[in-house]
Amino acid sequence: MRYLSAALLAFAFGGSLQAAECPELLNHDLRKLASEEEVNLCEAYRGKVLLVVNTASKCGFTDQYEGLEALYADYQSDGLVVLGFPSNDFAGQEPGTEAEIQNFCRSTYSVRFPMFAKTVVRGEATSPFWRDLADASGSPPKWNFNKYLIDRNGHFVAAFGSRTEPDDPELMDRIRDLLADVDKP
């Protein structure tokens, strides 16, 4: 029995080895914005540094899309991925359909970083991913454009509030430190 392959063991126990290795925080399947396509966070982003942001198109912080896209463009090749989650949870500032949100983000801010389905990020109906993120960070988002940093191992590192711009020195230092740590996929 001790010589069974990992694949055979995974099959024998009714699951995949990858599922067992997936960090809990990334163990979610999420739908892409304005699409039926689902993305498994482990499969798509394991080994990447993630900046997770709840977004809104009609917020005083909406212009942060520009900085988030610039950050993504500048550091994507180093392993950074910005993940956007439109949410209407704060003062109804994301009222549009997913197609309208996608069009706004692309045409106004040239957003190319991954965006996911309109999501509930606080309260009783919070999505499981955002519930896990709130548990890991100790706090759900307090407003639009909260930022959560996740390391290459899928562990929560730090949270930054809405007023923290994407080019904030402290945020940038944390991102650069995590990107430099390439030995921990």
What the chain holds in terms of domains, given with CATH numbers, is 25-180 (3.40.30.10)
State the pLDDT confidence band at 98, using cuts at 50, 70 and 90: very high
- The one-letter code for the residue type at 117 is A
Q: How far apart are CA 114 and CA 50, in angstroms?
A: 11
pLDDT tens figures, 129-174: 999 999 999 999 999 999 999 999 999 999 999 999 999 999 999 9
In this predicted structure, what is the pLDDT of residue 182?
78
| C-alpha dihedral, 136 to 152 to 170 to 173, nearest 10° | 160
Higher pLDDT, 97 or 12: 97
pLDDT of 4 over the 70 cut? no
Q: Tell me, what DSSP letter sits at residue 5?
A: -
pLDDT tens figures, 110-132: 999 999 999 999 999 999 999 99
Tokens of 111: 């957003």
Q: Give the chain's mean pLDDT.
A: 91
Tokens of 138: 């100790």
pLDDT of 25 over the 50 cut? yes
Pick from 15-19, 23-27, 61-65, 163-167: least confident: 15-19
In this predicted structure, what is the pLDDT of residue 53?
98
State the pLDDT confidence band at 8, using cuts at 50, 70 and 90: very low
Percentage of residues in the chain having pLDDT higher than 70:
88
User: Is 59 among the residues known to form the active site?
Assistant: yes
Q: pTM of this prediction?
A: 0.89
pLDDT of 18 over the 80 cut? no
Tokens of 36: 């039926």
Q: Which of 22, 42, 59, 105 is catalytic?
A: 59
State the pLDDT confidence band at 1, using cuts at 50, 70 and 90: very low
Helix (H, G, I), strand (E, B) or coil at 68: helix
